[in-house]
């Protein structure tokens, strides 16, 4: 399969914890990567490999996975976490990169 | 710190050829997959394709007939050409640096860790 499925939107109260999920057959072979995109900006990598964060990404953003589902969890959500989050991997043939449709995180 | 600087024409007429170039500053050009991604207005991310320093490229199956990605290792640059553009190709185009590695014993990891600022291309 060459698809990654994400819920279109999720909302969370300030200071609470939220999980964003990504499902796809390729995730049985690939670790998902996660990107955060704020309006008018380029996406930035926030999680990759098993649960690695690039420099500058806070440790309250973490990754986990189970079978064909990958998850991004934000603990103690802040207003600055409001963004669209995309998951990605290569497809099962290894030849192409695929993205999920994105999940818009709204902080209440 | 690696930076990607991209440029190219921002306004095209239908049937013209889109041409974008991305220069890599501050890091190695080898061992990575140099990637083009686009985002149509209000939509998600679409991978266009990538290329390594040896010139081996992979292209999105939906775009293979119109897209060429090339690399100039002497300049640390890579380029995107897309022929016969239509209004549907109106988008923000990003260049990025891709990593693709095997994770023993049976897994792989793939991610884009550095992104250009994006170029808005309008076809009208």
Each residue's pLDDT expressed in tens, for chain B with a length of 124 residues: 899 999 999 999 999 999 999 999 998 888 999 999 999 998 999 999 999 999 999 999 999 999 999 999 999 999 999 999 999 999 999 999 999 999 888 899 999 999 999 999 999 9
**Residue B13 region by backbone torsions, left for phi larger than 0, else alpha for psi between -120 and 50, else beta:** beta
**Cross-chain residue pair A88–B44, CB shorter than 8 Å:** no
Residue of A nearest to B56 (CA): A95
Residue with tokens 């997959």: B33
CA A59 to chain CA centroid, Å, is 14
Instruction: Report chain B's mean pLDDT, rounded to a whole number.
Output: 95
Residue A82 C-alpha, separation from nearest chain B C-alpha, in angstroms: 16
Write out pLDDT tens, residues B78-104. 999 999 999 999 999 999 999 999 988
Quote the pLDDT of residue A23: 98
CA A11 to chain CA centroid, Å, is 15
Residue of A nearest to B117 (CA): A42
Candidates B6, B37, B45, partner chain A, best to mutate (most A CBs within 10 A):
B45
CA B111 to chain CA centroid, Å, is 14
**Cross-chain residue pair A31–B103, CB shorter than 8 Å:** yes
Partner B contacted by A10 (CB < 8 A): no
């Amino acid at each position: 399969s060459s698809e990654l499925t994400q819920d279109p939107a999720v909302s969370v109260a300030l200071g609470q914890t939220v999980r964003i999920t990504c499902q796809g057959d390729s995730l049985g072979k690939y670790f998902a990567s996660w990107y955060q995109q704020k309006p008018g900006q380029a996406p930035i990598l926030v999680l990759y490999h098993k649960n690695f964060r690039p420099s500058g990404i806070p440790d309250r953003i973490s990754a986990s996975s189970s079978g064909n589902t990958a998850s991004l969890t934000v603990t103690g959500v802040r207003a600055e976490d409001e963004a669209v989050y995309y998951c990605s991997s290569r497809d099962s043939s290894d030849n192409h990169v695929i993205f999920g449709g994105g999940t818009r995180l709204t902080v209440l | 710190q690696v930076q990607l600087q991209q440029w190219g024409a921002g306004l095209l007429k239908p049937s013209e050829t889109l041409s974008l170039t991305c220069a890599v500053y501050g890091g190695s050009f080898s061992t990575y997959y140099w990637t083009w991604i686009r985002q149509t207005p209000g939509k998600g991310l679409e991978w266009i394709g990538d290329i390594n320093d040896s010139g081996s490229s992979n292209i999105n199956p939906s775009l293979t007939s119109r897209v060429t990605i090339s690399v100039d290792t002497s300049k640390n640059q890579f380029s995107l050409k897309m022929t016969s553009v239509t209004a549907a190709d109106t988008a923000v185009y990003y260049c990025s640096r891709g990593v693709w590695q095997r994770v023993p014993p049976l897994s792989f990891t793939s991610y884009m860790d550095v992104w250009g600022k994006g170029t808005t291309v309008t076809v009208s």
